[in-house]
Structure 1
Amino acid sequence: MELRVLNYFLATAQELNMTRAAEKLLVSQPALSRQIADLEDELGVKLFIRKPRQLVLTPAGQYLQEQAKEILTLSEKTKRNLQSTAIISGDLTIAAGESIAMQRIMNIVSDIIQDYPTVKIHILSGDYQFAEKRLNTGTVDFAVIIGNLPLSNYASLQLPDKDTWGILMTKDDPLAKKKVITPQDLVGRSLLNSQQAENGHYFDNWFGNYQEQINIIGTYNLLFNGSLMVKNHAALLITLANLADTSADSKLHFVPLSDNLAQPINVIWKKETNLSPVAQLFLDRLQASISE
């Protein structure tokens, strides 16, 4: 598969119309149609169902669309980094969950941008599975991972920062008067749990005998949307400290869980990989910040 043909395919998949895609690509419609047909012959699958007025992606086409986006992103990123070996330039891409440790990361990134104005930074937010997938496909340089997760397949650097679990509620909630939240405090309450924590069964031991009496009504991936449920008094949120706005002007309040449940934070990258100059610079500065 040529990168040029993948680009043709993506444009066609986006437009779902051969004529519009050809106009976007500045090629003739017959030439584009022939390229797509040749690609289907090469792969041995049908990528589109041809209808009178539009195209419809087949399951194989949907899969190729997702993979082609990552292939072309990686190709462009590699090209930019190879073209910038004389000076520190190129792209630095980090996938990360929401964490107070991101302040350390952002401090380092901000200094790099100031020292090397041609560097481009890309921050992708998501949970462990999201970050790990991007790292494995090579579309990110580093992933910031929260929690006790298997990292033996990666090079890693543990940060000194720790994330503490607690409950996000409104300031007028009766639990807001407490200094810590116990499992008994949550009996009969509706809670939204972090998707990663729910999948990893983080709180099974902490809930203990009260687990069946605590009503987990669902999960969230990133904090903001979940916090809207809290503001509506629809649920409490199990989350990490320092992520939500709990200032005097906010309606929200955070109380830590009893037993001081904390999560380690690791920065991971592919083993035995040649980092780009800007990625190596980031890693060097991160290690220096930890040493300090």
Structure 2
Amino acid sequence: MPEIIVYILASFYNEVVQERNISNAAKRLHISQPTLSRQLMDLEEKLGATLFERGHRQIKLTQEGYYLYVRAQEITGLVDKTETDLQSQNVISGTLDIGAGESTAIQPVMTVIGDIIKKYPDVKINLVSGDSDLIYQRLNNGTLDFGIIIGPEKLLNYHSVSLPQNNIWGILVRKDQLIAEKEKITPQDLIGLPILTSAQSKQQDVFRSWAGSLIDQFNFIGQYNLIFNARLLVETGACVALTYQNLINITGTDLAFRPLTPTVTDQNNLIWNKNRQLSNVAQVFLNRLKEVQ
């Protein structure tokens, strides 16, 4: 299928999914509803998969449809980014795409971005929050310029710059719980407590070297991707959450943060694909970041 046709179909498909209504999507695309319906049916026939569950007023994605939607977003995002980068080779403009997990330790990166925005008003910023799997995927498919990876990761296939500030692990806990009376938390303190931890740190097993064999006595009741939602559960008193220091503002709340001892930290690394040329604005960002390191 020619590349331009793929892009057009991906654009149409994204519009339909966002509108959840073929008629509304057709109006936004400035084509007739029968034409758009026929294109979608042709796409389903070509792929040999049902993409939508069609209702009276709205349509809903099937599992196959959702998978295609994710890929369609990548296609249109990559084409749009390529076009913008090509048009901005002689000036500092375009979009800087950066993906990162949640961490206050990436503040130096945001300071540099802020300086660039002030100096180059034509620059746009796209910040993508996600775990390392998402960041690697988007770096590899070209929809991110840079990613910030937290914790121990294999970076052989990427250029990297270590950021100066580390992340400090501890627990988020209600102030009225007994463990909150401790200034620092040892592995023994967590035995038997219901614990939430981040999905990524659970995969990396970051706490095993800290807790040793005692970790087998920890009661991990679940995991989270975003600490804000986990914080709401901690506020009920049902559990504590392993998280980074200063990740959320707990001033004036019933919550407290207590660091682990011995101290457990994660490093932050800015990475970018070795096999992709940086745009002008991405190179300006990288040069500026190295200057302030």
- TM-score scaled to structure 2, two decimals? 0.89
User: Secondary structure at 2:67's aligned position in 1?
Assistant: helix
Matched, 1:163 2:167: yes
What is the aligned partner in structure 1 of residue 232 from structure 2?
Answer: 228
Instruction: Mark the CA change 1:17 to 1:228 in structure 2 (over 3 Å): closer, same or farther.
Output: closer
Q: What one-letter code is carried by the residue in structure 1 that aligns with 2:32?
A: S
Query: What's the offset of the Cα at 1:41?
Result: 5.2
Query: What's the offset of the Cα at 1:54?
Result: 6.3
Matched, 1:137 2:174: no
Instruction: Mark the CA change 1:83 to 1:202 in structure 2 (over 3 Å): closer, same or farther.
Output: same
Query: What's the offset of the Cα at 1:144?
Result: 0.6
**Alignment gaps of 5+ in structure 2:** none
Computed over aligned residues only, the root mean square deviation of the Cα atoms, in angstroms, reads 2.3
What is the aligned partner in structure 2 of residue 239 from structure 1?
Answer: 243
Q: How does 1:73-222 map to 2 (within 5 A)?
A: 73-222=77-226
What is the aligned partner in structure 2 of residue 256 from structure 1?
Answer: 259
Instruction: Specify which of 239, 261, 280 is matched with residue 277 of structure 1.
Output: 280
Q: What one-letter code is carried by the residue in structure 2 that aligns with 1:154?
A: Y
Worse overlay, 168-177 or 197-206: 168-177
Structure-2 separation of matches of 1:189 and 1:53? 48
Instruction: Mark the CA change 1:203 to 1:93 in structure 2 (over 3 Å): closer, same or farther.
Output: same
Q: How does 1:21-40 map to 2 (within 5 A)?
A: 21-40=25-44
Q: What one-letter code is carried by the residue in structure 2 that aligns with 1:284?
A: N
Q: What fraction of aligned residue pairs are identical, expressed as a percent?
A: 45
The Cα offsets for residues 104-134 of structure 1, whole Å up to 9 and x where unpaired, read as 1111011011111111111111221222222
Query: What's the offset of the Cα at 1:211?
Result: 2.3
Aligned length: 289
Q: How does 1:12-91 map to 2 (within 5 A)?
A: 12-15=16-19, 17-40=21-44, 42-43=46-47, 45-48=49-52, 57-91=61-95
Q: Any conservation in 2 of the 1:245–1:252 contact (CA below 8 Å)? A: no
Q: What one-letter code is carried by the residue in structure 1 that aligns with 2:275?
A: E
Instruction: Mark the CA change 1:187 to 1:277 in structure 2 (over 3 Å): closer, same or farther.
Output: same
What is the aligned partner in structure 1 of residue 270 from structure 2?
Answer: 267
Instruction: Mark the CA change 1:51 to 1:178 in structure 2 (over 3 Å): closer, same or farther.
Output: closer
Worse overlay, 1-10 or 196-205: 1-10
Structure-1 separation of matches of 2:55 and 2:44? 17
Structure-1 separation of matches of 2:53 and 2:191? 53
User: Secondary structure at 1:193's aligned position in 2?
Assistant: strand
Query: What's the offset of the Cα at 1:87?
Result: 1.7
The Cα offsets for residues 214-253 of structure 1, whole Å up to 9 and x where unpaired, read as 2111111111111122222111111112212243x23222
Query: What's the offset of the Cα at 1:161?
Result: 1.4
The Cα offsets for residues 238-274 of structure 1, whole Å up to 9 and x where unpaired, read as 1112212243x23222221112111111011111311
Instruction: Mark the CA change 1:59 to 1:78 in structure 2 (over 3 Å): closer, same or farther.
Output: same
Structure-2 separation of matches of 1:50 and 1:240? 44
User: Secondary structure at 2:115's aligned position in 1?
Assistant: helix
Query: What's the offset of the Cα at 1:101?
Result: 1.9
Structure-2 separation of matches of 1:147 and 1:234? 28
Structure-2 separation of matches of 1:166 and 1:196? 16
**Alignment gaps of 5+ in structure 1:** none
